[in-house]
Amino acid sequence: MRNFIPFLLVLFVIAALLRVDFFFTIVYLFFAVYWLSRLWTRRTEKRLSVRRHFVERAFFGDQVPVDVIVRNTGWLPIPWLEVNEMLPVQLISPPFYRRAVSLGTHERRRFHYVLNCRQRGYYPIGPLTLESGDLLGFVSRSVTQASPDHLIVYPRVVPLQKLGLPTHSPLVALPTRSPLFEDPARVMGVRDYQRGDSPRRIHWTATASAGRLLVKQYQPAIARETLICLDMDQADYEQGHRHAAVELAIVTAASIASHISVKEHLPVGLATEGQDPLLGQQVRFYLPPRPERAHLMSVLEVLARVQTASEAPFADLLRRQSVNLAWGATLSVIAGRESDELLDTLVYLKRTGFAVVLILIQPGRPRADLHAQASLLGVPIHRVWHDRDLEAWG
């Protein structure tokens, strides 16, 4: 009650003018109730604890349950408590969770809601605000008890193993019976002994356990590296369908990275430049090609967070990051439009010794002259606009 203090002052003035003892008693009673309510509310406010439990990383299409536990750790009961949790509109509708409860002495309440991961991104969960007061409504305080946590939703991944990519595509690993070179310091497993195997390869501990001769298998010392170069310059995507095109470009990049890492067990990396909501600024990301599954999750996390930037020259990104790659590496270039500058850069990279493929995220077909020129120079072009284009790729 904002006007309660002026009301008490007016009532006190009236009691003083009329000199009626009953009025003074009412004024003292109201003052006592008011200050007792303030003291009660402050004490209970300090005894509130809040915890939020949920999985901080999820895949596209998952449902993430969230548990909010509010506990009164004090000896004074809380007559009423309003819990208000702000939530991202992309994951739940309406974009808030609100409940009103009362808490007894040392009582704990658990609140539960579910987030639907319908769109990749980096989302704040919260803040959570608790509003409490006295039973008569004399005092009402609003205090933020829990700061926001964050949820990362990985982009959608299309299973590329169903596409039947041709062997002339640089995205395909050519099978071989044995690697060119092996690193004896990196043991990837064991297999049965075969005639011709060197006695130095015998794994004596595994042989004793299995009761048959087993030899060590080493990881190849030379493996094809693939760097996915993603264009996040918003000027390279048509304004009419910019959001859909950017999201499809990210889906394509995530699908290629997952296919190379999980199905082919080969190194894959990512190079892109865009806005990072985690840092609140434009960032140039470069993750060098590596084969580990944990590295794939790092690539997917960047693809989940990155947003388009107003000034992110893609051709400059390609030239700068290519110097970090070994000769013969593959560059999978994902862009929103074709241009002479981009084609000149791809041809330069091709002549430098890289295998290059251009993936255009746009409706219709690429320019005929550009497509013919790129094919003549050995730079294949693929166009993707729908999931069915991915399914018919190659």
Q: What is the CATH number of the domain that holds 87?
A: 2.60.40.10
Residue 285 β-bridge partners = 272
Q: Are residues 166 and 296 in the same domain?
A: yes
30 in a domain, yes or no? no
Total residue count of the chain as it appears in this document: 394
365 in a domain, yes or no? yes
Q: What is the pLDDT of residue 371?
A: 60
4 in a domain, yes or no? no
Provide, rounded to the nearest whole percent, the portion of the chain with pLDDT above 90.
34
Give me the phi and psi of 144, to 5 degrees please: -80, 120
Q: What is the pLDDT of residue 46?
A: 82
**Are 132 and 43 spatial neighbours (Cβ–Cβ below 8 Å)?**
no
pLDDT digits (tens, 9 = 90+) for 103-156: 999 999 999 999 999 999 999 999 999 988 776 666 667 676 788 999 999 999
How far is Cα 17 from Cα 194, in angstroms, rounded to an integer?
112
Mean pLDDT along residues 159-176 = 44
Residues in CB range of 384: below 8 A, 6 or more apart: 248, 252, 359, 360, 361, 390, 393
Provide the domain count of the chain: 3
Computed over every residue of the chain, the mean pLDDT equals 82
pLDDT digits (tens, 9 = 90+) for 14-24: 777 777 677 77
pLDDT digits (tens, 9 = 90+) for 187-220: 777 888 887 778 888 888 888 888 888 988 776 5
**Are 230 and 250 spatial neighbours (Cβ–Cβ below 8 Å)?**
yes
Q: Are residues 232 and 329 in the same domain?
A: yes
Q: Are residues 309 and 194 in the same domain?
A: no
26 in a domain, yes or no? no
* Residue 3, CA atoms < 13 Å, CB-side half-sphere: 3
Q: Are residues 294 and 312 in the same domain?
A: yes
Per-residue confidence at 175, pLDDT binned at 50, 70, 90?
A: very low
Q: What is the pLDDT of residue 120?
A: 96
pTM, two decimals, is 0.76
Q: Are residues 79 and 140 in the same domain?
A: yes
14 in a domain, yes or no? no
The residue type of 134 is D
Q: What is the pLDDT of residue 185?
A: 62
Residues in CB range of 12: below 8 A, 6 or more apart: 27
pLDDT at 2 over 70: no
Give me the phi and psi of 19, to 5 degrees please: 50, 50
Q: Are residues 231 and 367 in the same domain?
A: yes
Q: What is the pLDDT of residue 391?
A: 59
Q: Are residues 271 and 133 in the same domain?
A: no
Q: Which two tokens stand for residue 360?
A: 């255009």
Q: What is the pLDDT of residue 79?
A: 86
Q: Are residues 232 and 367 in the same domain?
A: yes
Residue 314 β-bridge partners = none
What sign results for the dihedral spanned by CA atoms 218, 174, 257, 343?
positive
31 in a domain, yes or no? no
Question: Which burial class, exposed, middle or buried, applies to 103 when counting CB atoms under 10 A from its CB (0-12, 13-18, 19+)?
Answer: buried
Q: Are residues 111 and 255 in the same domain?
A: no
Q: Are residues 215 and 241 in the same domain?
A: no
SS3 of the chain:
CCCHHHHHHHHHHHHHHHCCHHHHHHHHHHHHHHHHHHHHHHHHHHCEEEEEECCCEECCCCEEEEEEEEEECCCCCEEEEEEEEECCCCCCCCCEEEEEEEECCCCEEEEEEEEECCCCEEEEECCEEEEEECCCCCCEEEEEEECCEEEEECCCCCCHHHCCCCCCCCCCCCCCCCCCCEEEEEEEEEEECCCCCCHHHECHHHHHHHCCCEEEEEEECCCCCEEEEECCEHHHCCHHHHHHHHHHHHHHHHHHHHHHHHHCCCCEEEEEEEEECCCCEEEEEEEEEECCHHHHHHHHHHHHHCECECCCCHHHHHHHHHCCCCCCCEEEEEECCCCHHHHHHHHHHHHHCCEEEEEEECCCCCCHHHHHHHHHCCCCEEEECCHHHHHCCC
Q: Are residues 203 and 239 in the same domain?
A: no
* Residue given tokens 């018919």 in the structure block: 392
Question: Which burial class, exposed, middle or buried, applies to 304 when counting CB atoms under 10 A from its CB (0-12, 13-18, 19+)?
Answer: buried
Q: Are residues 328 and 311 in the same domain?
A: yes
**Start-to-end CA span in the chain (Å):** 71
**Are 339 and 313 spatial neighbours (Cβ–Cβ below 8 Å)?**
no
pLDDT at 177 over 60: no
Q: What is the pLDDT of residue 167?
A: 31
Higher pLDDT, 261 or 167: 261
Domain hosting 189: range is 182-220
Q: What is the CATH number of the domain that holds 307?
A: 3.40.50.410
121 in a domain, yes or no? yes
2 in a domain, yes or no? no
